[in-house]
Amino acid sequence: MRILIILLALSILAACSSDGKRPRAEETEQQIFEKASQAIDDQNYFLAVETLQKLESRYPFGKYSEQAQLEMIFAQFQAQELEGARATAERFIRLHTDHKNVDYAYYMKALTTYELGLSLVERYFADEQAMRDATPAREAFQDFSELIGRFPNSQYASDARQRMIYLRDRLALHDVHVANYYLKRHAFLAAANRGKNIVESYQGTSHVASGLALMVEGYTLLGQQELADTSFKVLQANFPDHPQIKDGKFVISNWSQKDRRSLWNVITFGLID
């Protein structure tokens, strides 16, 4: 009987050996982390994300967990999983407020918002596009501002400041296109108000002159000559080479795309004697 048991055990072992299915030892936390790091080095970001997700599910409180979350933000961003990268950054900030590298999470949160909103602020070349929501760009500006406010000496602060300058300029351009959209639809007060917002909110950008010109044009078409004259004086004093200033006078733009023979397209207003 004992011989039969031994033979049966040997046959089972032989069968396992013959089909090649030997039990594998589970990968350690370090092995998985190193595999993910190698995938990042190889720029295989999709594999890196997958591997880091496995690491988090198996070792959520391991010694590599915090660093793995930071690596996950980077890998998701590089894999263009922007929503995921932002969510991971927000989660890291919430759970690790005092981490020595939490400024990186703030930076990546802002950067993913920036990338998500960039296409929106770039697309203002058609009427419908001019009315697109620029909220993501404003949110990115606020996120970068938060990074600088919390960590003014962060290694990421300089890049954040440069991106904020760019975003302010693009947001001002957005308002210019929206105001022109209003002009084309005879919403003159809305156009003038949008121009005023550009002048007040985006000082230092390259679009302040356009804001003043929009105020002059909007107020003129509204018949508010005193406001138009005041705006024109400021425009002429600060931007004498503006293309709508001809021989000391302000020229109304060709805003009517539906009727190019419109009287308004050829009227020249002499706002200054």
- Tens digits of residue pLDDT in 219-248: 999 999 999 999 999 999 999 999 999 988
Residue partners of 144: CB distance under 8 A and separation at least 6: 110, 114, 160, 161, 163, 164, 167
Rg of the chain (C-alpha set): 31
Give the C-alpha separation, 197 to 137, whole Å.
Answer: 17
How many other C-beta atoms lie within 10 A of the C-beta of residue 80? 12
Residues of the chain with pLDDT below 50 are 4-8, 10, 12-13, 17-18, 22-23, 120-121, 123-131, 256-273
Give the C-alpha separation, 197 to 130, whole Å.
Answer: 16
- Tens digits of residue pLDDT in 163-190: 999 999 989 999 999 999 999 899 999 9
Give the C-alpha separation, 94 to 166, whole Å.
Answer: 28
> Helices (H), strands (E): how many in the chain?
12, 3
pLDDT for the residue 217: 94
What are the structural domain ranges in the chain? Answer: 185-273
Give the C-alpha separation, 202 to 196, whole Å.
Answer: 10
Give the C-alpha separation, 45 to 63, whole Å.
Answer: 22
